[in-house]
Amino acid sequence: MLILGSTCLTMVVYIASINSMFIILPTVGRDLTINPASLQWIVTAYALTSGCFLLLFGRLADIFGRKLIFLSGCIWFIGFTLGCGFSRTGLELIIMRALTGIGGAAMIPACLGILAHTFPPSHARTIAFSTFQAAAPCGGVLGTVVGGVVTQFASVSWRALFYVLAGVASLVLAGAIICFPNDRVDKSADKRVDWLGAFLITAGLVLLLFCLGEGEIAPQQWGTPYIIALLILSVVLIAAFIGWEHYVETRLTFPPLMKLDLFARGKWKFSAILLISFLVNGAFISWQYWATQYYQNYWLVTPTYTVLFFLPMFFVGFTLLILVVFGCTMTSLASLLFAVIDPNAMYWAFGFPAAILDVVGADIIMSGGSLVCSHLALPEEQSLAGGLFNTVTQIGISFATTISTIVYDRVVRSRSAADGVLLDQYASNAPPDALLQGYRSAQWTNFAFAIFGALVGTIVLRGIGRIGGKHTDHDKQNEQATSGPA
Asked if residue 321 has pLDDT above 60, the reply is: no
Selection from 328, 321, 266 nearest residue 461 by Cα:
321
Kindly tell me if the per-residue pLDDT of 479 is higher than 50.
Answer: no
CB 387 within 8 A of CB 109: yes
The pLDDT, as a whole number, for residue 481 is: 40
pLDDT at 323 over 80: no
- Average pLDDT rounded to a whole number, residues 16-37: 84
Hey, how many other C-beta atoms are within 10 angstroms of the C-beta on 466? 9
Q: What is the pLDDT of residue 425?
A: 67
**Over the stretch 141-160, which tens digit does the pLDDT of each residue have?**
788 888 888 888 888 889 99
pLDDT of residue 101: 92
Q: What is the mean pLDDT of residues 375-392?
A: 72
Residue 440 is predicted with a pLDDT of 92
Higher-pLDDT residue of 355 and 90 is 90
Alpha carbon separation from 65 to 117, 180, 182, 186, 458 (Å, rounded): 12, 11, 8, 9, 38
Confidence (pLDDT) at 356: 77
Q: 143, 43, 167: which is closest to 98 by C-alpha?
A: 43
> What is residue 185's predicted lDDT score, i.e. its pLDDT?
65
- 3-state DSSP of the chain: CHHHHHHHHHHHHHHHHHHHHHHHHHHHHHHHCCCHHHHCHHHHHHHHHHHHHHHHHHHHHHHHCHHHHHHHHHHHHHHHHHHHHCCCCHHHHHHHHHHHHHHHHHHHHHHHHHHHHHCCCCHHHHHHHHHHHHHHHHHHHHHHHHHHHHHHHCCCCCHHHHHHHHHHHHHHHHHHHHHCCCCCCCCCCCCCCCHHHHHHHHHHHHHHHHHHHHCCCCCCHHHCHHHHHHHHHHHHHHHHHHHHHHHHHHHCCCCCCCCHHHHHHHHHHHHHHHHHHHHHHHHHHHHHHHHHHHHHHHCCCCHHHHHHHHHHHHHCCCCHHHHHHHHHHHHHHHHHHHHCCCCCCCHHHHHHHHHHHHHHHHHHHHHHHHHHHHHHCCHHHHHHHHHHHHHHHHHHHHHHHHHHHHHHHHHHHHHHHHCCCCCCCCCCCCCHHHHHHHHHHHHHHHHHHHHHHHHHHHHHCCCCCCCCCCCCHHHHHHHHHCCCCC
Q: Report pLDDT digits (tens) over 219-241.
A: 787 889 999 999 999 999 999 99
d(CA 374, CA 386): 7
- Within 13 Å, how many C-alpha atoms sit on residue 22's CB side? 28
pLDDT above 80 (res 476): no
Q: List, for residues 45-83, the tens digit of each pLDDT value.
A: 887 888 778 778 877 887 888 889 999 999 999 999 999
In this model, does residue 206 exceed pLDDT 90? Answer: no
Give how far the C-alpha of residue 65 lies from the chain's centroid of Cα atoms, to the nearest Å.
24
Looking at residue 85, its pLDDT comes to: 92
Most confident of 25-34, 148-157, 223-232, 307-316: 223-232
When pLDDT is averaged across residues 204-217 and rounded to a whole number, the result is 82
Asked whether the predicted pLDDT for residue 475 surpasses 50, the reply is: no
Rounded to two decimals, what is the model's pTM?
0.72
pLDDT one-digit tens code per residue, 331-375 = 788 888 888 888 888 888 888 888 877 767 666 676 667 667 767
| Nearest residue to 93 (alpha-carbon basis) of 174, 15, 38 | 38
75 φ/ψ angles, rounded to the nearest 5 degrees: -60, -45
